[in-house]
Amino acid sequence: MIKPDTHQGVETTTSDARMVVTTFNEMVLPLPDTGYNIRSRVPSLPDSATLILNQDGQIRLCSLAAGQLFGYEISRVIDMHINALIPDLPLRGNTPGYNLAFAHFTPGGTRWRRFHGRDAAGRRFPVSITIDYLKLDRGRGFVLNIQPECLGHAQRGNGLARLVRSIQDDDTAIFITDRNGHIQHTNPAFTSLTGFPQAEIEGRTPAILKSGVQPAAFYDRMWSILNCGDEFRCVIANQRKDGTRFYANEFIRPFVDEQGHLTHYVASMHDITEHVLQHARITHLANYDRVTGLPNRNLFLDRLSQEIHRAHRTSSVFALAFVDLDDFKLINDRYGHATGDEVLNAIGTQLNHCVRDSDTIARLGGDEFVLILPGVGDRQSVLGILQKIEDTGRHIVAGGLNLSLSLSCGMAFYPCDGKTEAQLLDAADQAMYSIKKRRGTAPGWIGTEHSAPGCEREEIQSAC
């Protein structure tokens, strides 16, 4: 069951953090030119170099770090085409379809790709980017994360002593291990990021930084790549000495001596914790209701689509329930919107107690809630759920008041009442409003209607 989420941008469990690390791809976020002001929901973009583009590759938002990286004032970057900053990036203003395909099929988040940037003075410099696909209300777009190449490759013939000296003044956290993974050298930026001084960590392996987020298969893959002499890039969740978690773009390069023998590994970590948490906040705002913490319409429609595909594939059934608070406007008018929000939150909480872990509860907006009940198709199961839902409104405590509310419920079944999202939503909605219409203004009544397999319809009414 998708339950209220109290996540405020700081991950609370290992599974939450693993999701943040491994799913840096689709966000549901309208852009300013679609009639929605991002700045009202995201006061400041993260400190990392981040650009948000529309589907034509036109820059719509620019972080301070991105402006500084390319040597521009942010106001000059807005509306600029991305090719002015990264000419080699294959996004063109006249090929939005190709742009979408490129972003959709380019692995985002943990897969960095090399290009060359061009600053305000026309100088070219190497950068690495990830591109994440955005689903918008009216259109599509991309999030571009940019990282300058901060440490050159450990090339054959480079002296280790010279490399160790060069990293001391680098702002990026760097550590050097022997070929077996034992740490031999670090720089001050590493100590600042992790809390571990070199004297304490020397001779130990980077496993001391493990957060438990990455599975064992992640490290198996990393070593299989490094053992082939290749570089390894990733977004990783690590743990500081004090136990707090941080996220980093990590880049590990093999180091070879003058004879071409692999002797060491050089790893750099660029702290992107604020970017990851901001990413999570944006995703949360786009998918969860602010008042109740329940999934909103965006996430609900995604879950409904998934359930239709699952039911079709397995030849199974499921129920869709609309729940509406009767005369909710009167509560807002009499007691104020703050009390109204408390009522909505209380209803959402109580609805969670009426269903199973496999069910989905969402708030569509206003006083409308909706439930997806997988595998529910027999009449008795539906009646039991409806009775629980009816009982939820009888004792609501909000704003210091004890309230007794009436609810109207409309039910529809897949595939009897519809085989598409629109058909099922329309069937459940009509069932709910037919109850409201037949009941009229009679106080203290809860109406529910549902359709069972065979398309028979019943009305159930019970006094509060």
Which range (93-97, 135-139, 243-247, 406-410) has the least confidence? 135-139
Residue with tokens 């034509």: 56
Average pLDDT, the chain: 78
Bridge-based pairing of strands 27-28 and 124-136 is parallel
298 vs 109, more confident: 298
Return the structure tokens found at 307. Answer: 């359930």
DSSP reduced 3-state for 452? strand
Nearest to 26 by CA among 146, 137, 136, 138: 136
pLDDT band at 17 (very low <50, low <70, confident <90, very high): very low
User: Which band of pLDDT confidence, cut at 50, 70 and 90, is reported for residue 255?
Assistant: confident
184, 198 Cβ separation under 8 angstroms? no
Q: Which is higher by pLDDT, 179 or 398?
A: 179
pLDDT of residue 193: 96
Alpha carbon distances (Å) from 342 to 2, 322, 349, 353: 20, 20, 10, 17
**How confident is the model at residue 157, as a pLDDT?**
44
Q: Please list, in sequence order, all residues whose beta carbon lies within 8 angstroms of the beta carbon of residue 447, skipping any fewer than 6 positions away.
A: 408, 409, 435, 436, 438, 439, 459, 460, 461
Using left for φ > 0, alpha for ψ between -120 and 50, and beta otherwise, residue 404 falls in beta
pLDDT at 233 over 50: yes
pLDDT of 416-441, one tens digit each? Answer: 899 999 999 999 999 888 877 776 54
pLDDT in tens, 185-210: 999 999 999 999 999 999 999 999 99
Q: What is the predicted pLDDT for the residue at 146? A: 87
Q: Going from the N-terminus, what domains does the chain have, and what CATH number goes with each? A: 31-149 (3.30.450.20), 160-274 (3.30.450.20), 289-463 (3.30.70.270)
What pLDDT, on the 0 to 100 scale, is given for residue 18? 45
Q: Indicate whether 354 pLDDT > 70.
A: yes
Scanning the structure block, which residue is given the tokens 């670090």? 186
Non-local (6+) Cβ contacts of 439 within 8 A are 408, 445, 447, 461
Q: How far apart are CA 253 and CA 232, in angstroms?
A: 7
Cα–Cα distances (Å) from 47 to 33, 61, 457, in that order, read 23, 13, 57
pLDDT band at 111 (very low <50, low <70, confident <90, very high): low
pLDDT at residue number 267: 94
Whether 13 has a pLDDT exceeding 90, the answer reads no
What burial class does residue 6 get, using C-beta atoms within 10 Å of its C-beta: 0-12 exposed, 13-18 middle, 19+ buried? exposed
Q: What is the mean pLDDT of residues 311-327?
A: 91
- Per the structure block, which two tokens stand in for 394? 């009888």
